[in-house]
Structure formats: C-alpha cells, structure tokens
Structure 1
Amino acid sequence: MAHRTPAPVRALGAILRALLGACTLLALLAGVPYLLLAVGHQPTELADGTLNLLQQDDGTLFFVVLTCIGWAGWAAFTLSAALEIVALLRRRTAPAISGLRSLQSLASALIGGIVLLAPTAAAAATGGPAVAATASHAAGDSAAAPSPASTASPQASEADQDKWPEHTVTSATELPWDLAEQYLGDGKRWKDIAALNPGLPQLAAGDQYLPVAATIKLPADADAADTSDRGQQHTSQTGTPPTSAELRTDTPASKEKAEEPTSVTVQEGDSLWTIADDHGDPKDWPALYEENRGAPLPGGGKFTDPDLIHPGQKLALPPQLTSKPPASSQEKKEKEEEKEQPPTPDDKDTTKAPEADPGTADEAPETAPDASAPGTPAPVPSGDNAPTQTAPASSSALAPAAVWTGAGALAAALVGTLATRRVLQQRRRRPGRRIPMPTGRPAATEQGLRAAQHPSGFSLLNATLRTLALNAAAAGRPLPALDAVVLHETKVDLHLAEPQAPVKPFTATSADQSVWTCSASSADIAEPEQLSETEMPYPALVSLGWTETGGHLVLIDLEHIGILNLDGNRDTARQVLQAIAVELASTPLAGHLELTALADAAPGLDTAAPERVARIADPAAALTEVAAHTADQRNALAAIGAETLRAARLLDDAAGAWTPHILLAQDLPDHATTSLVDALTAEPRTAGAVITTHAAAALPGLTWTLDCPDAEQPIVLPGSRLPVRLQGLADEHFADAIDLLILAASDSDVPAPTWPTDEDDAETSASSPVPAPSPPPADEREDDLPGEYAELEEADEPGAPDSERAKAPAKEQPQPAPGELDGPTGLTLADVLAEPTKPPATAPLPAPSTLPGPPANAPALQPQESLVTAPTGPTVLLLGPVSVDGAVGRIDSSRRNAGTELVAFLALNPGVDHHAIDDALWPGRLVGKEMRNAVVSRTRSWLGKDTDGHLHFPRVQDAGDSRYRLGPQVSCDWTRFQHLARTGLAHHDEDGTLALRHALSLVRGRPFGGIDPTRYAWAEPTIQEMVSAIVDVAYELSTRCREASDFPGALWAARRGLLAAEESELLHRQLFLAHHAADDLEGLREAATRLVRINEQLLDGADMEAETAELLRNLLPRPTARTR
C-alpha cells in the first residue's frame, strides 16, 4: 500500500504553511516600509540642493537611489497583493500585468495559503468519516462466507447505531444527490442517506440545499477515500492489480519473513474474517482482534471495535496466523471457482449466516462460521446499488468501460454518432447482407463507451441553453460569457465570466450572481416546439474533465477562450487534445462546426468525420484560413450592427452565419503566434478557437493555459477557479474511436452470419414453447403503426378468406429502370413530383427477392398446428421493449432492471461463467460476490419453478459444467423468430409464408426498445443483427404477398418490419408498391410524405435514396408537359 500521510499531519502542515505565508505577507507589506523609513535614505535628503554631480559622491546619492528602488518594489508587490485580494473577493482571476507576473505569483501563493487555512483547520477538527473496511470487494477476493464484518446480530446493530460514518456540511450548495454520488457512487441512493437522518427535512425532500454545519450520518458502505488513486499506484507494470496479500503484507527482508508475515495493512474491502482467512483459519479472527485491541488507529483513537477497521490500519498477526503464508493469487482464484458466497436475503438488512438453502444460494460455502461464533455487527451493502470498486483509468489492463469513466459527454457523443451512422448503413444494406460491426479491441471499447455515456445530460444542457437564448432575445439582453459549465445529473450550473442578473430558466446561486443554475424540473424550460426554432447559443462547448468532488462533467466555451494551450506533460496534453477533438467531431450540441487538423494533430480524424474535419499540412495555410474566417465574421458583425458574437446569435437572421471554426494543432510556427492570438482575441470576438499543445512560453499572455499534470492530478480552471480532473484519450483508445467511426461510415455490407440450426438448438427448441403471435389489432393505430395505414381492417389481414382477397385487383407493378442507382438523390418529395414528364409506360415486374435460397440443411417444415404453442414457462421478450413475461415469482420494482438484463443476457448467451456476467452487467467495475449472488438469487426467485418443481434458473452447482443458463421451459422470442424465419425462407410455399408471418408477429417494436442507455452495453451487435433479420423477413414476406395479389398482407408485412426500423427505405418501397398495386393513390402519397418526415430527422436531414426517388417518379402521377 502506498504511504498516505495521516489527515491530522496533513492538516498541521497546511496550517503551518498558512501561518508562514501570513507572516511573510505581513513582513513584506508592513516590515519593508518600516525598514525603508528606519534605515533608508529618503529623497528629502537631497532637497537642500547640496548635491553636486561634479563632485565625488559620499554615498548619499547611491543610498537614496537604492531606497527609491526598494519603495518601487514594495509598491509593485502591494499592488499585486491588492489585485489578488480584490479578485479573490470577486471569485475571479486577477488580471495579469506585464512585468509583475513573478510578484503576482508570490502574492497569489501567500494569499491562497491563508485562505485555505480555515477549511483545512475545520476539516482537521471534524475528522474524516469512519469508513467500514467492508465497503466493497474485488472480484478476486476470498470472502467466501459471512464474516465478522459482514453480518450483524440485532443487539450489535443497536449498539452500533452511533458509529455510522458522518459528513459535516461545509458549503451552502450541497445537495443530497451530491452526497450520495460522493460517498456511495450513485446519486440515486440519496434516499438511503435520508433514511438515516429523519430529523433533516431537506434530506427527505431530496432537492433542497443542506444546512451548513449539519452532521449527516452515512450508510456503512460510504466510501470517503479515493480508491482509484491507490489502485493505480499498486498496478503492476503489466497492468494487473496486485493481490490482496501483496497489498496487505509488509515487505519482507528475506524469504523466511515472506513466508511468515507478522503484520498486515488493512485495505479497502478487508474484514477481520477475510484477513484471518488469508493467513490461516477465518475462525481465528477473535485472536486477531485480541492481538490488536487498544492499538492506535490512523487519525487518532484506539482500536476497540472489531466490527470497524480502517484502511491503512496496521494489524499484528497472532501466532496461529503467522505459521501459514498468505494465500497466493492463484489459490484465491481457485477458491473463487470452487465456491461463491451466499447472498444476503432481500428482506433483511443485516442477518446471521443463512442456512444452506439450495433455492437461494448458488453454491455452499466451503467454510462456515461456528454456531458459537459471536455476532458480526457491521452491516453489508446488498442489492444492485451497492458500491463497487472502479478500476483506475490509466491502467492498460482495465475493463474497457473503466477507461471511459468520467467521460460521459465524450462517450455519449460517440455513441450517438455511431447510432446515426448505423441507421444509415441499415438503409444502404442489401437484403440478406449485414452491416459491418467492430470486433476485438474496438468492440470492447464501444462497450465501455455505452456503459459510460450520459445522454440525458446532453438533453438537459441543450434544453436549458436554448431556453436561455429564447428568453435573452425576448428581454433584449446579450448572452453571458461563460468561464465553465458544470453538468450534474439533474441540474446545470453556469459559471459566468462577469456577474449579472440571471435570465430564466436560470437562477443565481451565489451572492454576486456569478453562478447560475437550472434544475431539470424547472417549469421555465421551454417546450420542444419552441426549442426547435432556436439555434444552440454556445456551439463550441466541449467537455474538459470532471469536478474533483462529485465527478460532475465540466465544459468550457472555446469561443470565449479563443486559444486553449495545453501545457505541461506532453503525453497528457496530447491525450487531452485527442479527447477534445473526438468530442468536437461527434457532438450533437453544435449542429455544425468546422475543424481543421494541422499536420499530425488527431491523426485519422479527418477520415473518420470528413463532414466536420479537414486536414491541412501547411501551417501558413491553416493560419491564413483562421485569419480569413475571423475577418469575414467581423465584417458580418459590422454589417448587422451587432456589438458581440453572443448578441448576433440572438438575431432572427443569424441562422447559419456564425459557424465555429476550430484549429487543432500540436505545434504552431513561432513567427505566427502573435498574429494568431491577435486575430482570435481582438474585440469583437468571433466564432473561432485554437487548441494547441505548443510551449506556453512561446505564446502571448492572453492564451488560456492549462498545465496538464503527469498523473490524475486536479488542475484549477482559470476564471471559475474550479478544481478539475482532465479527461484524455490514450493513443490506443483514440485509435479505437477512429476505427469505430470509420467502420460505422462504411458503405459496404458483409455476409449474414449463420444462425444455429435445429440440430444446434434441439435441446432448447424441443422444450421451449413458441409464443403465440399477437392478434391483429382492430385499430391499426394502437399497434404503433403509421397512421396512414389505419384504413386496413382486420378482415383485410392475410388470414382473411380467399374470396375477400380476390376482390383486390391484380396489376403489374412499375419498377425502376434497370441499372444501379447508387447514393441519395438530394431530392425532396416535391422535387420528385414537380418534374413534368410523360406518364410512365408499364414497367417490368419487381425484381425477385435477393435473399439467399434454402440452405442444404434446411429444416423440414413442421405441421401448421405446431407453429404456435402456448408457453409453459417465462418468455424473454427482446423484439421490442425488453421484458420477461410469465415469471411466477416477485421482485422489487427497483431491482427488476438488473434481473431483466441478466435473464436477457443468459437467453442469448447460455452457458457462461460469472466473469462473463460481471463484464456484461457491470462493465468496468470489480464486482464482489455479494452483489452478483444477490442479483442471481433474486432473479431465480422471480422466475420461479415449472410444474414439475424444477427451477427456471437452475443453480450453478446443478449444471455439469458449473455454468449459468436458463431452464428448458424458458423461451425467447428472438430464438423463436430465428427458427420460424429459417423455416419460412427455406420453403417458398403457403406454409413457408405462414411461418414468416408468425415470425413477424413476434415483432413489437425496435429490438431492445425502452432500455436505459447505460445498460445492455453488450447487446449492440445483437440489436443490429435483429434489425437486419426483421427487415429481411418483412421484405421477403411483403414481396411474396404482393406477387400473390395479397396486398393487405404485403402492407402488413412491410409495416411490421418498420416497427423495428422505421428508416428502412427498402420497406418503404415495399409499401409504395403495395399501395400502387391496390390502386390506393392517397395511401401512396401519405406513405411518401411520411418517409420524407423520417428522412428530415436523420442527421438533420438525410436525402432520399436514388432508387426510392426513381420508384416514386414511376408510381405517382405528375402533370404532363403540354405540346403545341
């Protein structure tokens, strides 16, 4: 364990430094003038006129000049100190004065040390909250049974009510959500804190500021230490975290001492039971306690409570525990595979050791405590929200999601761009083919992105800032200049460059009105219809990192900054530049912006995002482009009479006139830096900025310089003075992000994967019932279908008698002329219909389906009555909103999401071990067995048993291979869809068509619809496969029905496929053909209009495909050109 100075010693050091600074400041401000007056020679000594420059000086003139120099130095320092004090009172950065920077730095250091004296002393007096060392466990720890620090008897629980960790409120802006995020890792757990403090109504309300100086009890699993830093320090060179034995045991001086350690150092997650287990017998923990009773604790006090041990505490091992060396990492791994700790039951907070109940525990523990063992009072967090240890972001061996921790905005921007590009890829995909998906490290990186994203924050930020622009324009006020934006889960804070009265929806949270805030529940946020008419007022906002406390995202306005210089460690600065570049290339906030990458800055970004990024190799050309952009915008500002860019953005005629242009440069030519700074920082400011890692010494003083540290150390932002941890992208993760963007923009498709045959899933298929398809709704509008198709009645469904179908006229279908029609046309529906041409002649029949023919091992078609069978067990529904239907047990609604995700994962990935489950449900986190087993146990109880008494979620020890899988009576709509689709595509007859219809009847919406964006990070490849398969089946069935003159059936099939992919022009073309064949011209027009609306919402307006536009030209009547 890395050495950590005790808190009292650190506080004493800070106090001494502050007192020394105060004495130094007093000596400089008061002592220097006293000495100058007492021993100096003042200019008044020369006032008698006796000075003769032609005579030899007796020293008087020299001392007078020396004294004057002293007075000048004192005046300069006094001025610097005064500026720093005024800036401190105004919570602003003191202006830099040329020639006085060294004196300003000295004054700032001295005054800053004095200002920090009060909170440091208060922190020392209050003391850190007591942290139970059982807060979390790494996946490899050997806590195999209830330990002395994991369960409690009722008597011990009552005795320990006064020993909860505590927090003292020191700021007037602390919220319950913030405390839960800081200490529990999840803001949603503020209710747990409120339950422990019933006397505080502000906690019960949840959205009120806490009273200053209030002492708040925290749950036992509250984590006040920054475990990620310690984890990073102990990570080995290969990226593998050390074992608990390596961290606990003092470094031996010899091999014999290594085999017989005499003491250990407590780590986060330890208990007396686990330490005794590592060094001998866990039942010897009482001897370990007796050996250390009364020993001093870190930070003061004595060790008198066996239920509460502290990280950093030294424990001497008794003789019975020193005769066995600590367990090696391999031994612990073997233990992990052999046994899993029983979970804590749902209905109890603290319990004694559970009995061996095969229905609630996965595996029996290898060692159980004696019946005579005393109670173990320390409560253990259980459930889905229990905190877990986050792996350090700098380790190369981390799970992918851990790398992106804190990069919520960057992750959300990338995931949003990937989603949009894949929608377009699905539109271009040929039937029977698939879109390319990442594999290997890029695939793991994408999973990490999806687990770390916070898209809801984007929506809140976008809505609040657009509302601010609306209200500022109505009030005739310019937009405020922003030093920083802090994005919380439920609110947005604006840190202003200059204090001013707030504009709705924001309110001032500081006395000087320098910080504005707006909560997500504010009634002043404008409606979406109003927001759509307003441009983003700060399009150059980009995330820089996150706050040191609370982990809230911090964004800066590049337009306000002008030049952002990333100084300090070159590698860190480059990684920060790469993170900013990727976010700017994919952010949805800006709408549109232009990026220029100079030389080798952000390599590959221009290929990954060509619509925003251009690369210029010549520095002179890049600087000329920046100068031209700034000059053009200043001329435009003068032309409209706007004083500032922020005022111009509020004008009605400003649409598209102020596109930001940002230059990314690792190095800048020295001869051009002055002109570049002048162009970007001169008033009025323009929509331009430069981000560079150039040496700060070579740049003028008006640049915004951030000193990027060597490690994860916080920096202080200029202006707002916020302590921030910078986010960066290491080279390998930056390369992954570029690969993901390039792959998602590819125009090529790939062969479809081979689905499991009936022989492969015979065991599952034989016992898994087929979910009955939902009956056709009486009103199509209730089926999430386009309103223009509501005229089709149930009698017109494919199941109607043949006599009903015969009434529909048979007609040859027009088809585009032969030849490849590549790419979008750029035409709107009005453009298509406005071209006066002659009515098209009868076109050839539509091309036959391009789906592959029946495979050689095509399954034999089952009798019709066997296609639909009532389910006899739970059904996992994935082809729409995710749910589990038919579970006979009960589960708390707050824990249903984790159980549902586990069931969905096992339905698609049967036979996995607990490592795969951890990576899927908790990516990037080291999950203890308590959490995993609790979720597994609750899910098993929720699914229940079948009629024969067999569990629908069997115990892992009952499986021959010790793997997790669902029971044979649990069915899945996707598995059933695959079976029916494979059967239907292989048989081009009436029964094959019926199988395709049954397959489509399972589709209820877009696969995995309605999920939490931060969950199901593992499911993206499966979602894309489902979408492609549904569209292919819908296309095939619609084609078959239309060729058989079953036009209602053709419409039903296409509409059903559009439930999963409404943007698929392949299916929209099927709709057009079916409407035309049924002589439904009005329905054809409405269908075409709907496609235009969908295209307008893709990437702020996607063009109609050439093939679709050509088809509409052939199908829709248009005015003919008159001949004279």
Structure 2
Amino acid sequence: ALGRRRREQLWHRAFGHRIPRPRGDAAGAEVALRLGSDAPGSRMLDNGLRLLGKLLAEQGRVPPTIYAVHLSARGLDLWIHPPEQDAPEPWESHDGGRTWRLLAHEGRGIDEHALADAPAPYPGLVSLGVTESGRVLIDLEAAHGVIAIAGHRVRDALAALAVELATNRWSDQMRVTLVGFGNDLATIAPHRVRVVGSLAEALPELEARAEEMTASGTQVLTGRVHGRAADPVWPPHFLLSAIGPDADEAVRLARLGRAGTRMAAGYVIAGDVPHPTWTWEITEEGKARVEALGVTVAAQLLPRRHYDAVVELFRTAERREGEPVREDEESREFTTSPSINVRVLGPIEIGPVPPLEEGRAELACELVVYLATHPAGVHPVVLGGILWPRGVQAVVRDATIARVAEWLGTDSEGRPNLRTDDTGRLRLGPEVRSDWQLFRELVRRSHNDPSARAVLLDKALGLVRGPLLNGRPRGRYAWLAADELEYEVAASVADAAHRLCEVRLAHGDAEAAVAAVRAGLLLAADDEGLWRDLLRAAHATGDPLKLRAVVDGLHRRSSSHPYGGGMAPETESLIDELLPTWRLHSMPSA
C-alpha cells in the first residue's frame, strides 16, 4: 500500500526535487515494517489462493470453507472444515483432507501474471498472530456471524486488524466500516475505509446488504471464483467496532449472522457481545486465543504510538511538494586508482578484497556500504543501532568492526582503509571510493562545464548498473527507511538522465537520448518523468516501430506493476499525442 502511494508521488516529482521522506516516528515505523515484513509470504498467500480458486472454477467445484491459514517458510497450510480429500495440484491434501498444503517452492513458482484477472476467493483472511513456526490467519467470513474480541489491549488488536484489512493484497474490492476510530485511518486506504461514529449509523447498510444477498441466493465462494478480480461478485464488507453494542444493537448484530451461511461479510465487535459465533480473547500476556478454533498465538497488536506513526507514514506519502535534491557544493578530489571500490548503483560489489567466510560477508558488506554512503563517519555505538536494530552486545559489535578493518586492509600509503578519527567516529580511508560519490562529482562538474556536460553525464550514468543495492539480503539494510539515500539516489539519477536526454535531443541525436533515458531507468524505473522522456526521445527518432515498442513496454509494465496504479494521466496524454492509435492496439492487461 505504501509502495502504491510512493509510485503516485513519483508521477508528480519535479525536476531537481525528490519525493518527501518520512522522519521521526514515521521513519521508525517504516524501519519496523521493513524488518518485520514478509513480502514473499504475502505474495505466496495471494497467488496461491487465487490459483486455487481458478483451478476449482475450471473443475466446476465449490471452494472449501477455510477457517484458518498457517503461513510459514515451508509453505501455506489451509485448515478446512468439513474435510475434503481432493486438492487440485500443486496443492496437496493432508490429515484426511483437513489440511491443504502448498509447498513454498511451488508457491514461489506460480506465474503471477497469469492470475491477474483471477479473483481473491478468501478476502476475509486476517492475521490473528504468530507462532514460532509462522503466521496464523483466520477467515472473518467463515464465522458466519459476530466475532467478539475481549480481554486486554482490545483496541490495539482492532487497530492491527483494521490496518491489515485496509492494505492487504489478497483482497480485491472491499469495504471496511470502522466504528469508534478516528478519521485518520481513512488516510491509509480511502477507497476501502469508511469511518462512522456509532453502530447505529453502520448497521442499516449492513442489514440491507444481508437481506439482498439472502434474497439473491448467491453462493459467495462459488460466485467469486467464477467472477473477475476487477468486478467481484459480492465484494466483502467488514465491520470493526471499538464500541460495544447496546441491547438493541446486539439483537440486530445477532440477526446478521442468523442465516448460518457465508455472507461476504464479517463483524468484529469489542467487548462482551451476546451469543457471538467466535470469541477472540487477548490475554494479559499478549496471546490471542480463539477457543472455537483451538488456536492460540502471540497476538498481532498495533499500540497507539505505532498506529499514529503508520498513519503519519501514509500522510507523508500523500504529500506532493518535493524536497530539493542535495548536491555537493565543493569539488571532491579522488585518488587516481582507489584501493577499494564500493559499488552500490546496482548489485553490491566491494573490491578488490579477499573473500570472507560464509555467514560474515553480508554484515561486513552492509557496514562498508553504510560508511561509504555516509562519508562524515559514525560513532560505533550509533553504527551498532543501525546494523543491529534489534540490539547487539558491545563485544559482538566491536569484534565485527575489527574483522571488517582487517578485511579492508591498508591503502597505498599503509593507512587503514577503516579507521577511527579524533572524534571517535568510524570512517573509510581516502582510497576507498563509492560509485555514488563519483556519480555525484561527475554531475556536479557537468553543471559548471557546458562544453563537457554530455560527456560527464554520460560517464555518470555509465556507473548505473541496476536498482540501488540490488539483491540486498532480506532483513538487512532496514536503515534505508530512515535515511535519505534511496530518495536522493533515485532523484539524482533520474535528473541526470533527463538532462542528458535534453542535451542529446538539442543536438539532434535522438538515439543517444533514448540510451540516456534507458540508463536512468535501470535504477529509477518508477520515475514517470523518465518514461515521458523516453517517449519523446523515441518519437524523435522518427521510427514508429521504436515508439510503438516503448508504448507497449510501458503499458505492459504499468499493467503488471506489483504496486498497481497504471500510468500517470500526463503519460497517457503524451502517448495520445505522439501515438493516437495506441489504445486501439494496446495489449490487454497482463
């Protein structure tokens, strides 16, 4: 969800500016999100369920009732009642049909593009919490009635539930009505979230919808899997209330669950509710327990401070005014032949250095990358908090620093390539050079030398080999969330490519302008301004096939982008101007 917002920010990024970055608690929230996120698991859950629905629809079968899911590094387990033996491949049936399992290697191999129009069959799955082996989710729709949430820290549990429903990727169109929450949560997902002040205000719509569904006789799961993601049959509507019902409201809530069948709806109410279908209890120790399902886990909670930080994170991603790109004012002198090169504008490369033993290289590289991109240095204690955000003993931190210092060795004058200065800060030596430092210096010189501008910008862009720190290990580099590096690099590379494109076009060299933009897109692939530059440069070549190839590539990319959102309106307008027939021949959404 945050990625979608940032992509939309890039639609409006002005030349010479970067998109606003989070600060304070909001930046800390993003660090925590990066540390705790499970993007591969979320993708497997989403793709695995959509594939399951598609396979069952092709076989003319009714999807089973899934009351809970266990997501782990080993794969995805669906807990089914009543049991059903015949699971469609690559799913496997276990425990007499009580569990359907998708192994992780099968889940990772699913073709996501082939499922682009496959609907989400179980949009009501929400995280109850975690165990030592993985995450447990329950299906709100499977309760067929009211779920009471009681015990300790009920609001924190409801807040976590609300944020997940508002942002998950395994739902298509849905509505979430919140009672007893502030309007701030609507900031995260205005297309999904509605905030009302009381249950009395929320219930009429839910009651009318339940009557309509009952009268239609539609089987929700069967209807869903035969539908389309863009136009789901009975999109779900979930009610989360931090306010308990009065006597009349309790009766009305009970009536909503009387049908005893799946109603594309779920109701989670705080406090004691008469005759709930399930009771979701939060213990004083932070456990979440649903006795009806026999499940107890460490509860997923979102305390108020963290909730506020997440909301502020999304507010920052709503801002359109950019921040000026910071550029060095003074020239930097680089050694002719550095002892060590640190390459970050693409896959991480550090060399020449001897190989490190397995298990130590990732941390050592991250330490060097941080210092290379923060040449002012950093105190070891601060560095410890950056590289070990969950905490580290001083002896482990100091041993790691000493190991990296030995690994980097000395420069041509015998000076350590990793040293401690007079203020106690760790710094890399003058003969350790990063491609990012060299890129900035080449761009700075291009501003002051119009005659050599094209050559200098071309050299700068020649340093770009792919996305920043491409292939970095999962769970590491979380500090990037609270740092300006990602924002600064993406904007600077895009601006350099834009400048070089303009210079090349001014000199009538459209092919070189195309090459300049493509070099920038290697790193700043989501910068919509660069795509518009590429369209203009391709049009300037006079080759309609080249322009058509760019339009088709852009359309294909926007249709299958993991963050969604399509193309910026300005980009579509430019295509309409340069290639008026593109909509007639555009590829279907992949």
Q: Deviations over 1:265-293 (max 9, x none)?
A: xxxxxxxxxxxxxxxxxxxxxxxxxxxxx
Secondary structure of the 2:35 match is helix
Match of 2:342? 876
Q: Deviations over 1:867-921 (max 9, x none)?
A: xx5x43221111112221x232221243221111111111122421222222222
Structure 2 CA distance for partners of 1:484 and 1:1118, relative to 1, 3 Å: closer
Structure 2 CA distance for partners of 1:1084 and 1:914, relative to 1, 3 Å: same
1:552 aligns with 2:129: no
The residue correspondences of 1:620-699 to structure 2 (distance < 5 A) are 620-636=200-216, 638=217, 644-652=219-227, 655-667=231-243, 668-693=245-270, 695-696=271-272, 699=273
Match of 2:535? 1072
Q: Which one of 308, 320, 324 corresponds to residue 752 of structure 1?
A: 324
Identity among equivalent positions (%) equals 31
Of Structure 1 and Structure 2, the greater strand share is in 2
Q: CA deviation at 1:731?
A: 0.7
Q: Deviations over 1:151-187 (max 9, x none)?
A: xxxxxxxxxxxxxxxxxxxxxxxxxxxxxxxxxxxxx
Secondary structure of the 1:591 match is coil
Structure 2 CA distance for partners of 1:460 and 1:745, relative to 1, 3 Å: same
Q: Which one of 698, 714, 731 corresponds to residue 304 of structure 2?
A: 731
Query: Which 5+ residue runs of structure 2 have no aligned equivalent?
Result: 583-590
Match of 2:439? 977
Q: How far apart in 2 are the matches of 1:1081 and 1:437? A: 39
Contact 2:10 2:528 in 1 (8 A): no
Larger radius of gyration: 1
Q: How far apart in 2 are the matches of 1:749 and 1:455? A: 29
Contact 1:951 1:967 in 2 (8 A): yes
Match of 1:716? 289
Q: How far apart in 2 are the matches of 1:681 and 1:896? A: 59
Q: How far apart in 1 are the matches of 2:434 and 2:7? A: 25
Q: How far apart in 1 are the matches of 2:161 and 2:108? A: 31
Q: How far apart in 1 are the matches of 2:557 and 2:107? A: 30
The residue correspondences of 1:484-495 to structure 2 (distance < 5 A) are 484-495=68-79
Q: Deviations over 1:845-884 (max 9, x none)?
A: xxxxxxxxxxxxxxxxxxxxxxxx5x43221111112221
Structure scoring higher RCO (CA < 8 A, sep ≥ 6) equals 2
Contact 1:680 1:689 in 2 (8 A): no
Match of 1:742? 315
Match of 2:48? 464
1:888 aligns with 2:353: yes
Contact 1:601 1:664 in 2 (8 A): no
Q: CA deviation at 1:526?
A: 4.7
Write the letter of the residue equivalent to 1:721: G
Structure 2 CA distance for partners of 1:725 and 1:481, relative to 1, 3 Å: same
Match of 1:63? none
Q: How far apart in 2 are the matches of 1:1075 and 1:620? A: 59
Q: How far apart in 2 are the matches of 1:899 and 1:623? A: 57
Q: CA deviation at 1:665?
A: 1.3
Q: CA deviation at 1:710?
A: 2.9
Match of 1:77? none
Q: How far apart in 1 are the matches of 2:156 and 2:183? A: 12
Q: Which one of 993, 999, 1005 corresponds to residue 466 of structure 2?
A: 1005
Q: CA deviation at 1:475?
A: 4.2
Match of 2:383? 917
The residue correspondences of 1:461-860 to structure 2 (distance < 5 A) are 461-504=45-88, 505-510=90-95, 512-522=96-106, 526-547=110-131, 550=132, 552-561=134-143, 562-569=145-152, 572-598=153-179, 600-601=180-181, 603-636=183-216, 638=217, 644-652=219-227, 655-667=231-243, 668-693=245-270, 695-696=271-272, 699-712=273-286, 714-746=287-319, 748-758=320-330, 765-766=332-333, 768-769=334-335
Secondary structure of the 1:965 match is strand
Q: CA deviation at 1:1077?
A: 2.4
Structure 2 CA distance for partners of 1:527 and 1:593, relative to 1, 3 Å: same
Q: CA deviation at 1:545?
A: 0.9
Structure 2 CA distance for partners of 1:1042 and 1:1086, relative to 1, 3 Å: same
Q: How far apart in 2 are the matches of 1:543 and 1:1062? A: 32
Q: How far apart in 1 are the matches of 2:254 and 2:109? A: 37
Match of 1:1113? 576
Contact 1:420 1:1098 in 2 (8 A): no
Q: CA deviation at 1:509?
A: 4.3
Write the letter of the residue equivalent to 2:235: T
Q: Deviations over 1:25-77 (max 9, x none)?
A: xxxxxxxxxxxxxxxxxxxxxxxxxxxxxxxxxxxxxxxxxxxxxxxxxxxxx
Q: Deviations over 1:1025-1049 (max 9, x none)?
A: 1111111111111112111212222
Q: Deviations over 1:421-461 (max 9, x none)?
A: 21221121111122111111211221122112121211222
Q: How far apart in 1 are the matches of 2:108 and 2:343? A: 39
Contact 1:579 1:729 in 2 (8 A): yes
Structure 2 CA distance for partners of 1:1052 and 1:507, relative to 1, 3 Å: closer
Q: When the two structures are superposed, what TM-score results if normalisation uses the length of structure 2? A: 0.91
Q: How far apart in 2 are the matches of 1:657 and 1:471? A: 18
Secondary structure of the 2:70 match is strand
Q: How far apart in 2 are the matches of 1:1007 and 1:1059? A: 9
Q: Deviations over 1:355-374 (max 9, x none)?
A: xxxxxxxxxxxxxxxxxxxx
Match of 2:523? 1060
Q: CA deviation at 1:715?
A: 4.1
Structure 2 CA distance for partners of 1:428 and 1:680, relative to 1, 3 Å: farther
Q: How far apart in 2 are the matches of 1:518 and 1:968? A: 52
Q: Which one of 982, 994, 998 corresponds to residue 455 of structure 2?
A: 994
Q: Deviations over 1:366-417 (max 9, x none)?
A: xxxxxxxxxxxxxxxxxxxxxxxxxxxxxxxxxxxxxxxxxxxxxxxxxxx2
Q: Which one of 935, 940, 943 corresponds to residue 408 of structure 2?
A: 943
Secondary structure of the 2:298 match is strand
1:1087 aligns with 2:553: no
Q: CA deviation at 1:553?
A: 1.1
Q: How far apart in 2 are the matches of 1:556 and 1:977? A: 50
Q: How far apart in 1 are the matches of 2:171 and 2:581? A: 40
Q: How far apart in 2 are the matches of 1:1117 and 1:423? A: 26
Write the letter of the residue equivalent to 2:360: R
CA RMSD of aligned residues (A): 2.5
Contact 1:466 1:537 in 2 (8 A): yes
